[in-house]
A and B are shown apart, each in its own frame.
Chain A
């Protein structure tokens, strides 16, 4: 058993999830089963292998250039109304579960 119920509680806390008692039990079982399978990665010696975060730094760019220069085409001017106009306050609030017309409204954060 790699993952205990205590670990699940800790990770749920990090992920902003509560999880019911039954969900936690299921999560212990499922995470252990998946992590057991994932363990096969340890069969590979990767001590001299570079990690790969994404593909776009490997392909489709000017390979004669170095570092961020290779992505020059993705640069743009840092201006307020750039590629797209910012959403108006009204539009930005339209999908909010609770708003007062100016701000998103949430339960009180500071206790007196």
Chain B
């Protein structure tokens, strides 16, 4: 049995049936990290002690013949924007370079309560701001499929860790595409749940009305298992919704025949790479072959999504990141004489270029005289973008699109042009703005063997349908 090739059920049942141990699973994945990660850079911190303690707990359960919980013994990684008690949590930033949280993020706690073995914390763009992982204050992540390419961002470390078999599953966060786009670039599955489906408690805030936690996995079923584990109301997050969590795994097997899938021309316009278009169109044909009805829909405000997103996300970020003041838990510059000098120099030295750019844009958009023209305008367009989806979902059960206009680009290719980098999220940001769920699944490769992603979007709280479509596509081979 190849221990680093298992899915969740395979790993759990192997431990349950004593064919292996959670300890051996953890050790074999650590060995793989040791071997691969110097090149890839997916991990920022390993927490071996915590992992082996949990593995031991699971192994004792198995030895006593007790049924293991759904993720019993499964090696996982957590994006370094989620707080882990006693384990350094940096958000990819120098300003939190030495931060050790005193509590666990709810999603992390639920994963561990379900038996997951947390191997470490994954690299990401600083404060989840980026589409290539080049904005990490520590080191860029490289795409396991081609080390000269980016893994996508901002959950690039999580996507790369899963793609390179260093863990079975990872948690990421998605504010403008940060789970789905790296999943697409690395050839794995990435699910962004509905806003409010998964508690944000303990997630280091970037843009609070847009931040989502979700899984990156190698199979759709694994994504369903993880979502079932982390979803549901949490009193510690007042925006976490009190909505019934269905059994996503059971729902996977329902037939897709007769489902209506929308295709929006706005997602197939200029800027879409020809090979990506071809792969996505064949995927749509395959779904039609599975009995889905393909229905043209229109999402006319799509061209306004990126400017709307970059106003709202940066405005919220400028407010959220005000807390890094060098007083309570963040980096403090040395040799400062006054309080105001301490704030400024600590933030100047602690934040990277992209974070400062976004704080500046957001502060500008909220400043006196510009609030109506920028921030309020963007909030109104957000209503229009959401209405587009509401109207489309009157006619269809889900919408299929490319995840990203291109496959993985080269390191350095867009790093000097912020606007070009922002456009990498052109097909993903609208779902964040509207709060609807989306999944990216692999749908082929370019001639250069780079993975291509198919995105499936659903209505609010209907992750079950997009998982079902994704599963049917995946199983059809």
Q: Name A's B-contacting residues (CB within 8 A).
A: 3, 7-8, 10-12, 14-20, 23, 26-27, 30-31, 33-35, 37-44, 46, 49-56, 58-61, 71, 73-74, 76, 83-84, 87, 91-92, 94-98, 104, 106-109
Contacts of B344 in A (CB 8 A): 16-18
How far apart are the CA atoms of A29 and B64 in the complex, in Å? Answer: 65
Whether B277 sits at the interface, judged by CB under 8 Å, is: no
Supply 20 further A-B pairs (C-beta < 8 A) apart from A23-B356, A97-B330, A107-B338: A15-B359, A15-B363, A23-B353, A26-B353, A33-B419, A37-B306, A38-B307, A49-B381, A49-B384, A51-B380, A54-B208, A59-B194, A60-B460, A61-B241, A74-B239, A83-B235, A91-B102, A95-B329, A106-B327, A106-B339
User: What are 6 A-B residue pairs whose CB atoms fall within 8 Å in the complex?
Assistant: A15-B318, A33-B419, A50-B380, A60-B242, A83-B235, A106-B327
Is A44 in contact with B381, judged by CB distance below 8 angstroms?
yes
Q: How many A-B residue pairs have CB under 8 A?
A: 183
Within the complex, the shortest CB–CB distance from B319 to chain A, in Å, comes to: 10
Whether A76 and B360, one on each chain, are in contact in the complex, defined by CB atoms closer than 8 angstroms, is no
Distance (Å) between the CB of A110 and the closest chain B CB?
10
Q: Is residue B91 within 8 Å, beta carbon to beta carbon, of the partner chain?
A: no
Within B360-407, the residues touching A (CB, 8 Å) are 360-361, 363-364, 367, 374, 376-384, 386
B45 to chain A, nearest CB (A): 15
Asked whether, in the complex, the Cβ of A11 is within 8 Å of the Cβ of B377, the reply is no
Return the 9 tightest CB-CB contacts between A and B, nearest first.
Answer: A55-B435, A51-B379, A95-B329, A97-B332, A60-B241, A46-B380, A54-B209, A38-B307, A74-B238
Residues of B within 8 A of A (CB): 98-100, 102-103, 194-196, 208-209, 233, 235-236, 238-239, 241-243, 301, 303-304, 306-308, 310-311, 318, 322, 325-332, 336-345, 347-348, 351, 353, 356-357, 359-361, 363-364, 367, 374, 376-384, 386, 418-419, 422, 434-435, 460-461
| B419 in contact with A17 (CB, 8 Å) | no
Complex Cα spacing A93 to B378, Å: 39
Task: Establish whether residues A40 and B386, one from each chain, have CB atoms under 8 Å apart when the complex forms.
Answer: no
CA distance A33 to B360 in the complex (A): 13
Cα(A34)–Cα(B343), bound, Å: 27
Q: B422's closest neighbor in chain A, by CB?
A: A34
Tell whether, in the assembled complex, residue A59 and residue B461 are in contact, meaning their CB atoms are under 8 Å apart.
yes
CB contacts (< 8 Å) of B363 on chain A: these are: 11, 14-15
Chain A residues with CB below 8 A from B238, complex form = 71, 74
The smallest beta-carbon distance between A53 and chain B, in angstroms, is 6
Whether A3 contacts B332 by the Cβ 8 Å rule is no
Q: In the docked arrangement, what's the CA distance between A108 and B339, Å?
A: 7
Q: Would you give the shortest CB distance from B369 to chain A, in whole angstroms? A: 10
